[in-house]
Structure 1
Amino acid sequence: MKKGVFGCLFLLILTGALVFRTADLQRRPMHHDEANQAVKFRDLLEEGRYVYDRTDHHGPTLYYLSLPLALIRSGTDFTALTETTLRLLPALLGAGVLLLLLIPVRDTGRLPILCAGFLLAISPVMVTFSRFYIQETLLLFFGAGLLTSIWRYVRAPSRGWALSAGLFAGFAYATKETSVILFFALAAAFLSAYFPPFKIPSPDMLKHLKWKTHFPLAAGAALLTTVVLFSSFFTHRQGPLDSILSFPSYLSRAEGAGMHVHPWYYYIGMLTRSRFEGGPVWSEGLILGLALIGAVSLFAKKRSASPARLGFFRFVLVYTLFSTAIFSLIPYKTPWNCLPFFFGFILLAGQGSAFLIERPQKWWLKGIPLILILVLGYNLGRQSYLANFIYQADTRNPYVYAQTSTDFLNLVQRIRDLASLHAQKKQMLIKVVAGPYETWPLPWYLRDFEQIGYWGGLEEAGSLADAAVVITDKKNTEMLPASFLDSVQSEYYGLRPEVLLAVHIRKDLWDAFIRTRINVGLGGHD
């Protein structure tokens, strides 16, 4: 493939990836994890202060990298911040992973990279979680950068690639604790290059590594990046140590408890085929199938690929096997945790696609697998569209996981309508009495209400009579005294699947609201 043709096609694919990831970012309600991260970001945005919490929220990169976009789009006013502004960072980095595919292109050739880029651009799971304000897409980006930088260093040892690998490793560690899984898988992949059957066909690739000078450079870059970020630019000395002390807490969580415990085959099953309650069929089967072909092609007796290309994809294969196995064996599972290892599948699928296209000797036969991949790829793209623009908060979407219901937005709108009628407007007193799981994402959506408080139980909340609106979860609703219920109008809204919130509105405020709706009907639901 000529360089100009490759460049035009790659640019077209990159543009498509950006459109899929950045269009209509506010369309889906904020997931409670996103809202939690957003509120954590508030201190950094408004006060320039960040302190690493070793028990929650993961690493600091999400917040520090969010800062430039937030300052440009909304200044330091947290209430002016939008879902689009926050989600723009992971969306851009999710598309940016395609650019990292160009790092090994000298060794792989253009066709495998073009095919992998095409699949990465339209993969439903990759598109979906690139539109979430969570750490996983950042971890994917830094992990991909680390993988490709290590490979380029192996092929052409230099200070630049050693430094690049160190920086990507440091940023990955400062993003999320599960980065250590990627480090282990990459170490296994690197070591496998010395041993059959994964041994790199050309041993010369490994003879010129400059461990004494380049390894300290890479390690120093990783360490410096980690210390700077976890110490909040040397203002919080405990941060780097806390990043290490956090592992017992996260290891305990990884052992599993509650709704996040899933069987070992959860990820592969989700990616292979999912269908719920008459909804669409969801499948990344094209990528999985092509990845299998790509893996088998690396050990075919008749190989036309260069030693460098075989070496890279064998390196990717070992990384993918190890990372997939580790993530699958951890009982604690969420859909977005599959991104780092599924990236390996996509790379192998690029090799599989190229193998099928290159295999036929006659040029017109090469078009058959190409057309087939494009046709099946259309289905992947259609799934991405459905997942993010039609079923974005629908439980029939396998990537919708404990997702905030669209009905919750009706609750938020009701609060705003009531505030417009209250004498104190957004200064009206709101009391939220609910457990942590039932509270989020209220703090994000009601961030511009200054007189709002959050309590876990009724005793902590004190008197409810002075509040214009009281919001309770199921447990606390059942404990409300009859005298209070007689003084309010109660409504119920879906927070997420099988989770309801009750909104109790003081009678005088409710009456004022009803008067504005006499001519248009009640709206909402009791």
Structure 2
Amino acid sequence: MDSTVFAKDKRISRATIVYYAIAGIITLLAVALRFAYLTLRPLHHDEGVNGWFLTNLFREGIYKYDPANYHGPTLYYIALVFVQAFGLNTFTIRASVAVWGVFIVLAAYWLRPYFSSKATHLTVFFLATSPGLVFISRYFIHETFFVFLSFAALIVILQYIRRKSAGAIATIAFSAILFIALLIPLMKLANASLPDGYVAIALQIIAALASAGITYVITRLALSREGGREIYLLLAAACLALMFATKETAFITIGVMAISAFCVYFRECIAAAASLRKSPLKLILIASAAGVLFDIVIKYKLPETAGDFGKNTSELAGLENPDAFEIVFYLLGLAVPPLLVAALYLFDRRKQDLPKQASLFTKIRDAIPHGGKGLPTFAASAVLFAYIIVFFFTSLFTYADGIKGFFEAYDIWTKTGSKDHTQNGFWAYAIWEMQSDGAIIISALLGSALALLKSTNRLAMFVSFWWLGLFTAYTIIPYKTPWLALSFLLPACISAGYGLGELLEVRQKALRYAGAAVCLLVMFVTLYQTRDLNFVRYDDEDAPMVYAHTQREFDELVSRIEHFAAATGKGYETSIDIVSPDYWPLVWYLRDYPKAIFHGRLYDTSDADMIVAKKDDQDEALIRRLSANYRFYGPFKLRPGVRLVLLVKKNIPGNDGRELYELRNIRE
């Protein structure tokens, strides 16, 4: 064998080893950040509510979708699998979410055909270490699984367009979905006659074997057609259905992704339209009209904010006539859209001749079978989509009204979206994300600018429109909570990885070194912010992403309850009255105490071993009614503005608490 060829093969092999070694290290980092000290922070109010739904499903087998809850059922059924395997505890329920955070990181390696190896690794690193993504991955709420589904939908659609044969992971995922979809109704059919003993076991085995057999036949049939390429389309339908079954905001994400694909096509038209390049004035006029329309839609917030910035800056600098600066910056805000398009025009004029590529529309058109050949696959995808919706919203075919609730939820959500959680201001997401993931967001802006200026990487352009579009959509909607930011933070991480990866690919050595320094700085800042947010300031209301979170003092309250429950000799049979109107997530922590009664108000006949009350609001009533029989511990901060006190009967051993009249002496 030629020694040159051998040396080349050896270099390729070494590069492959290095690539997978880096991938392994980043993946381990992602796992560590999501699972280490997973119970460190107490459950949030919303986690407590989700835990209550899960507890009822686990113990009673009952879950009925409530559209007023405006969250889908997938979270509870996924967590149920984990709880049945590992027990009903805080670590398990959070692990059922954290695992999807790791899957997001792993899924990013399917972007390798579209990005350089450096850009891919950077993308994966940001997805693994983003302070916001890690923070919410350690929450028992719906968002992490939701954004995983949006990412998975993109990947399987890309695989379908590339005409890729179904790989092992895609085949396994499809088979698993199909098997579960068949197993549940067959099991219910097997148990319909309520057989006993060996007959019941035999029928369940037959149902499982039948599900496995049908799954095998359908999977083999799918693999026989174009190498199983159609499996990707079926998986895309499953991902979209699961998104709707997870959160009602699915229509926003899916809508923005569809618009982003159109924007990529439009950007390609701009790059290719010689007539427009010859007439830049026409292009700039069109952009100006679009910019004015955009400002009208968002109620002039862009120029308004720019004007406020100019005025505030001039006042801080001690300059005269700050109103003049406000007007100048207001006009600059109006000019942003046409200036951006003018920059695109100038860049297009300086572009070298690039190899001709089929347009995005052509690529998608060619990927779809013509002449009715794809009709069976599209029909099967539609059936699978509908089946998954019915499967989850009917609580596995036990609650028919769930389908009605599925449609009612959108009416409720639109009303909620304009009334609740509106106190954070129009630019809440910009402020939160710059505080928590600022280095990534700035890098994402760089990546988006490069993608749109170069217009040679369709995926990079799509992701840019995706995250900027979702950021715009959620900024316009009055309802704002930090966890909704995950929907645009995920694609922002991809844009950041692409942008910094491009810096490492430039020809000039000095620029490459500068790019490497920038990458190291961004990575260091991101890791520092991740540690600070997730393991130090996780309950600090001044920290980004922390939103009315349960304070760490709450853990001491729970410990006191457990201590005195043991001291009574009754254990879990200890009687506990919760008279505070604010108590979530205490319901989760007292789930094993059947005599823990959540009254939410004071009443005269309480004779419980312990009482949990609200400091300040209930002080005088507690002193007047219960001073003779109880001492208290605390106060314990539940969340900002809410403190709890624990009253313990005086005859319980080890009770050295303070007398109730001392409540008057305790202030903030």
**TM-score higher than 0.5:** yes
Counterpart for residue 482 of structure 1: 624
The aligned runs of 1:435-446 (5 Å cut-off) are 435=581, 438-446=582-590
CA distance in 2, matches of 1:369, 1:58: 42
Q: Secondary structure at the match of 2:478?
A: coil
The aligned runs of 1:95-106 (5 Å cut-off) are 95-106=102-113
Deviation at 1:202, TM superposition (A): 2.5
1:146-181 Cα shifts (integer Å, max 9, x gaps): 122233333338412211211111111111111111
The aligned runs of 1:21-32 (5 Å cut-off) are 21-32=34-45
Bigger radius of gyration: 2
1:267-321 Cα shifts (integer Å, max 9, x gaps): 1111113xxxxxxxxx4222122211211212335x7xxx4xx111111122222
Counterpart for residue 82 of structure 1: 89
Counterpart for residue 425 of structure 2: 263
With normalisation by structure 2, the TM-score equals 0.69
Q: Which of 333, 339, 354 is residue 486 of structure 2 equivalent to?
A: 339
Say whether residues 1:453 and 2:597 are aligned partners.
yes
Q: Which of 505, 511, 515 is residue 369 of structure 1 equivalent to?
A: 515
Deviation at 1:16, TM superposition (A): 0.8
Counterpart for residue 467 of structure 1: 608
RMSD: 2.5
1:21-77 Cα shifts (integer Å, max 9, x gaps): 111111111112111111110122223332212111611111111122212212xxx
**Residues 174, 229 of structure 1: 8 Å contact kept:** yes
CA distance in 2, matches of 1:242, 1:515: 51
Stretch of structure 1 that moved more, 221-230 or 192-201: 192-201
Query: What amino acid is aligned across from residue 339 of structure 1 in structure 2?
Result: L
**Residues 256, 331 of structure 1: 8 Å contact kept:** yes
Counterpart for residue 562 of structure 2: 416
Question: Which 4+ runs in 1 deviate beyond 6 A?
Answer: none
The aligned runs of 1:486-525 (5 Å cut-off) are 486-491=628-633, 492-509=635-652, 512-514=653-655
Say whether residues 1:210 and 2:368 are aligned partners.
yes
CA distance in 2, matches of 1:71, 1:117: 32
Deviation at 1:260, TM superposition (A): 5.2
Deviation at 1:412, TM superposition (A): 1.2
Structure whose residues are more often helix by fraction: 2
The aligned runs of 1:41-440 (5 Å cut-off) are 41-56=54-69, 58-74=71-87, 81-156=88-163, 158-196=229-267, 202-203=358-359, 204-210=362-368, 213=375, 214-257=377-420, 261-273=423-435, 283-300=436-453, 307=456, 310-362=457-509, 365-435=511-581, 438-440=582-584
Deviation at 1:478, TM superposition (A): 4.7
**Residues 169, 222 of structure 1: 8 Å contact kept:** yes
**Residues 433, 456 of structure 1: 8 Å contact kept:** yes
With normalisation by structure 1, the TM-score equals 0.87
Deviation at 1:360, TM superposition (A): 2.7
Deviation at 1:185, TM superposition (A): 0.7
**Residues 451, 464 of structure 2: 8 Å contact kept:** no
1:74-109 Cα shifts (integer Å, max 9, x gaps): 2xxxxxx22111111211111110222123322334
CA distance in 1, matches of 2:507, 2:525: 25
CA distance in 1, matches of 2:379, 2:429: 37
Deviation at 1:480, TM superposition (A): 4.3
Query: What amino acid is aligned across from residue 67 of structure 1 in structure 2?
Result: L
CA distance in 2, matches of 1:380, 1:198: 37
Query: What amino acid is aligned across from residue 225 of structure 1 in structure 2?
Result: I
CA distance in 1, matches of 2:470, 2:423: 18
C-alpha spacing 1:426/1:46, structure 2 compared with 1 (3 Å): closer
Query: What amino acid is aligned across from residue 513 of structure 1 in structure 2?
Result: G
Count of residues in correspondence between the two structures = 489
Deviation at 1:227, TM superposition (A): 1.4
Q: Secondary structure at the match of 1:102?
A: helix
Percent of paired sites with the same residue: 28
**Residues 579, 611 of structure 2: 8 Å contact kept:** yes
Q: Secondary structure at the match of 2:381?
A: helix
C-alpha spacing 1:246/1:350, structure 2 compared with 1 (3 Å): same
CA distance in 2, matches of 1:481, 1:516: 14
Give structure 2 stretches of 5+ with no counterpart: 1-11, 165-228, 272-356, 659-665
Q: Secondary structure at the match of 1:513?
A: coil
Q: Secondary structure at the match of 2:127?
A: helix
Stretch of structure 1 that moved more, 493-502 or 292-301: 292-301
CA distance in 1, matches of 2:234, 2:111: 16
CA distance in 1, matches of 2:622, 2:525: 51
Query: What amino acid is aligned across from residue 271 of structure 1 in structure 2?
Result: E
CA distance in 2, matches of 1:7, 1:326: 37
CA distance in 2, matches of 1:390, 1:210: 51
CA distance in 2, matches of 1:477, 1:333: 34
Deviation at 1:462, TM superposition (A): 5.2
1:113-139 Cα shifts (integer Å, max 9, x gaps): 221111111111111111111111111
Q: Secondary structure at the match of 2:64?
A: coil
Deviation at 1:195, TM superposition (A): 2.2
Deviation at 1:199, TM superposition (A): 7.3
CA distance in 2, matches of 1:59, 1:488: 43
Give structure 1 stretches of 5+ with no counterpart: 75-80, 274-282, 518-524
C-alpha spacing 1:400/1:175, structure 2 compared with 1 (3 Å): same
Q: Secondary structure at the match of 1:494?
A: strand
C-alpha spacing 1:319/1:300, structure 2 compared with 1 (3 Å): closer
